Amino acid sequence: MCGIFAYTGAKEAGNLLLEGLVSLEYRGYDSAGIYTPESGVVKTPGAVGALRKKMPKKYEGKSGIAHLRWATHGEPTEVNAHPHTGSGEIWVVHNGIIENFKELKGVLEKKGHTFASKSDTEVLAHLIEEHMKKEKNFEKATLKALNQVRGTYGVAVQYKGEPEKLIAGRMGSPIVLGIGKNENFIASDPSPILKHTKKVVFLNDGEMAVLTPKSHTIYKLTKELVKRAPEELDWSPEEAQKGGYEHFMLKEIMEGPEVIENTLRGRLIPEKGMAKLGGLESVTKELAKIERIIIVACGTAYYAGLVGEYMLEEFAGIPVEVELASEFRYRHPVLNQRTAVLAISQSGETADTLEAIREGKRKGALTLGIVNAVGSTIARETDAGVYNHAGPEMSVASTKALVSQLTALTLLTIFLGRQRGMSAKTGKEIAKELKALPKKLAAILSGKEAIEKLAKKYSGARDFLFIGRKYNFPIALEGAIKLKEISYIHAEGYGAGEMKHGPIAMIDENFPTFALAPKDSVYDKMLSNIEQLKARKGPVIALANEGDKEIGKLADDVVYVPKTLEMLSPILNVVPLQLFAYYFAREKGLDVDRPRNLAKSVTVE
Ligand code: AGP
C-alpha cells in the first residue's frame, strides 16, 4: 500500500513531510516523492533516505504533499513515482487503482494532453487541470474529476495557484485528516499525524475534504456538506501503523475481505465468465499449449499451491504437480516447453523458490509467478505473472497473502480453464461466487470473539492435529503451520484419510484435533473421522457450514462458516484457523508478529 502525507500550516513543510514518510515506510515502498509550491517536486526510487539525499539544501514551503509508493502498475522508477502533475499546476499523490484511467487518458490525449508516465495517477492530475480550464475553481474541478474516476483512491491534491489549500479524497483507500492549531494534515493512516495532533477525522468513501491552515470542510462527492467532529486518538505511532489492532497479524487477517477485492479488482469479466490477467497477456498463446504445470513454493505459499493443484486439475483439466521449492531444485525434474513452472511467493525473494524458477528456465520451461511484492526478484525473473495487490504483509506469519494467493489461483484457473474445456456457465458461477466472498469473509471475521474464546479454552494443549480432505487437506496443513510457528507447540496437519495409517495412535484426551468438515463431497468421510477421534476421547473442534445440525452432536466445539463452492472453501475456511493460531499465541503471551527463529522472507537457503 502506498503512503500519503500532506501538510498546510506555518512550519517548514519539507522536513516535516519527510519525517512523516519515515513513519509510513512500514507500509512498504519502492519509490518516494515530495512537492511544495515554493520549491517544486523531487522524486526518486528507494525510500525516504534516498529522497532526502536528492533534495536541495534549501527546500522551502509552508505546505506540501509527499508519497511513498508500493508499485502496483509500472516499475518503481523516478518517472512513475508520485507526486504526479499535468502541466505543473495540479499535483497529486494517490493510493489505490484507477480502473478507468486508460479511457480517461484517451479523452485527455484528444484534448492535447501529453503524459510523462504510465501511471494511472498522472491521469487524475491532467483531468483536474482539464476541469480547471472551465471551472476556474480548484475545489469544483477536483470534485468533477473525482466523480469521473472508477476504482479506488485515497488522494491528496495541491494547486500551485493556491499554495495554502489541500484537497483530500477517499474511495476505497483510507484517508485521515489531522486537525492541528493553525495547521492541518492529510495522511493514509494516523501514524505521521500523531506527533503533531491527536485530533483526527477519518474520511468515508465518497467524501472529499478541503483544508487550509485554519479550516477543514468535508463534502460528499454529491456536493452535500458533511459535519463530523474530530475524534481524539490516543494511539502511539506504532499502534497507528497497526490500525489500532494489537498486532500486525490481526490487522492483516482483518484485511481479508479488502484483499480479496483488491486481488480481483479489474480482473473478472463476470458476464463472460472470464478472467483478465494483464500480467499473462504476453504469454497467452504459450499458455494455451501448456500440458503440465509444476507449482514451486515454500511454507504457506506451498499450501496455496496444493489447493491450486486441485482446482487447476478439476476445472482447467491440466495435470499439476506441487513441489517444495527446496526439493525441486535438487531433483532432476523432467521439463520441456510444454511445461509451466509456477512460483508462488509473497515476498518474491525466497531463495529456494527463486532457484527453482531458475532451474525451470534452464530446462526450457515457461516460468510464471504469483507474487505480492512488485518488482521483486522472482517477479522480475519469471516470464510472466500475476501480482497479488495484497499490500505489504508485515507479520512473519503469512495470512492475507495466502487469502490473496488462493484468489489469484482461482483467477488463473478460470483463465486457463476458459482456454480449454471450461464452459462460460461454469466460469460465470465461479466468478459470481468469488465476488460474494468478501462479504462472507467479513461475516466470519465479525465472529472472531468466539474463536478467541476457543483458543483460550485449548491454550493449554501441547499438541494439536489438523485434518481435512480434498480442497481442505492443504488448509489442515496450513492450520498446523500457523499454530506451530507463532505458539511453538507441536502441531501436525494430515489428510484425514491417513488417520488410520498412523496419526490416530497419538490421540487421547490431551491431544485435540481441528477437523475441517464443510458440507462438501467428502463430508460423510469427515464425520466418520470425527467419530474415530471421539472414540479415543480426543477433543475435537470441527469447522462446519452454517446450518449443519449433525456436527454439533459429535464435536466438542464447532466453528461455523458460510457455505461457498467447494473449490473456494479454502479461502473462507483458512481464516478461522489463522484467528485460532493468533489468539492461541497471544494467550500464551508470545511475540505474535515476530516469532522466535523465523524471518519474514527466507532469502538464504
Ligand atoms: C508463513 O506463515 C511462513 N512465514 C513461511 O512459511 C512463508 O510462507 C514462506 O517462507 C514462503 O515465503 P514467500 O511466500 O515470501 O515465498
| Cβ within 8 Å of residue 60, ≥6 positions away | 12, 14, 36, 38, 39
Q: How confident is the model at residue 376 (pLDDT cuts 50, 70, 90)?
A: confident
Q: How confident is the model at residue 426 (pLDDT cuts 50, 70, 90)?
A: very high
In percent, how much of the chain has pLDDT > 70? Answer: 99
| Grid cell for residue 568 | 473456494
Instruction: Select from 398, 488, 598 the residue to mutate for testing ligand 1; criterion: most ligand atoms less than 8 Å from CB.
Output: 398
Distance from the alpha carbon of residue 299 to the mean position of ligand 1, in angstroms: 5
The stretch 296-312 carries a mean pLDDT of: 98
The stretch 307-332 carries a mean pLDDT of: 95
Query: What is the length of the chain?
Result: 605
Distance from the alpha carbon of residue 502 to the mean position of ligand 1, in angstroms: 28
Instruction: Select from 346, 354, 402 the residue to mutate for testing ligand 1; criterion: most ligand atoms less than 8 Å from CB.
Output: 346
For 201-213, b/e burial (b = at least 16 CB within 10 A) is bbbebbbbbbbbb
Q: Nearest CA to 474 among 294, 302, 352, 323?
A: 302
Pick from 223-237, 301-315, 442-456, 550-564: least confident? 223-237
* Ligand 1 pocket by Cβ (under 6 Å): 298-301, 345-347, 350, 353, 396-398, 485, 601-602
pLDDT tens-place string over residues 551-560: 999 999 999 9
Separation between Cα atoms, residue 93 and residue 3, nearest integer Å:
9
Atom of ligand 1 nearest to the CA of 347: 15
pLDDT(72) > 70: no
In percent, how much of the chain has pLDDT > 90? Answer: 85
Instruction: Select from 253, 298, 374, 400 the residue to mutate for testing ligand 1; criterion: most ligand atoms less than 8 Å from CB.
Output: 298
Atom of ligand 1 nearest to the CA of 401: 14
Q: Nearest CA to 250 among 373, 394, 390, 391?
A: 394
Q: Between residues 402 and 239, which one has the greater pLDDT?
A: 402
| Grid cell for residue 73 | 502498475
Q: Between residues 337 and 105, which one has the greater pLDDT?
A: 105
Distance from the alpha carbon of residue 298 to the mean position of ligand 1, in angstroms: 6
* Identical fold, 3-241 and 447-587: no
Nearest residue (by CA) to ligand 1, atom 5, is: 299
The stretch 234-252 carries a mean pLDDT of: 85
Strand ranges across the sheet with 320-324: 320-324, 292-297, 339-345, 366-371, 384-387
Pick from 152-166, 240-254, 291-305, 473-487: least confident? 240-254
| Grid cell for residue 524 | 460423510
Distance from the alpha carbon of residue 302 to the mean position of ligand 1, in angstroms: 8
Model pLDDT, residue 198: 92
Given CATH 3.40.50.10490, say whether it is the number of domain 250-444.
Answer: yes
Identify whether 140 is a catalytic site residue: no
Distance from the alpha carbon of residue 133 to the mean position of ligand 1, in angstroms: 51
pLDDT(478) > 90: yes
pLDDT(80) > 80: yes
Name the average pLDDT for the chain: 94
For 167-193, b/e burial (b = at least 16 CB within 10 A) is bbbbbbbbbbbbbbeebbbbbbbbbbb
Q: How confident is the model at residue 596 (pLDDT cuts 50, 70, 90)?
A: confident
Model pLDDT, residue 373: 84
Given CATH 3.40.50.10490, say whether it is the number of domain 447-587.
Answer: yes
Model pLDDT, residue 243: 84
Model pLDDT, residue 159: 98
Nearest residue (by CA) to ligand 1, atom 7, is: 299
Is the CB of residue 167 less than 8 Å from the CB of residue 209? yes
Nearest residue (by CA) to ligand 1, atom 9, is: 299
For 3-241, CATH gives 3.60.20.10
pLDDT(476) > 70: yes
pLDDT(239) > 80: no
Identify whether 2 is a catalytic site residue: yes
Distance from the alpha carbon of residue 486 to the mean position of ligand 1, in angstroms: 13
Give 492's strand partners.
465
Task: Give me the residue spans of the domains in the chain.
Answer: 3-241, 250-444, 447-587
Model pLDDT, residue 557: 98
Nearest residue (by CA) to ligand 1, atom 6, is: 299
pLDDT tens-place string over residues 81-104: 999 999 999 999 999 889 999 999
Model pLDDT, residue 189: 87
Q: Nearest CA to 39 among 16, 19, 20, 62?
A: 62
Q: How confident is the model at residue 73 (pLDDT cuts 50, 70, 90)?
A: low
Distance from the alpha carbon of residue 323 to the mean position of ligand 1, in angstroms: 15
Model pLDDT, residue 244: 83
Atom of ligand 1 nearest to the CA of 297: 16
List 140, 435, 457, 600, catalytic entry:
600
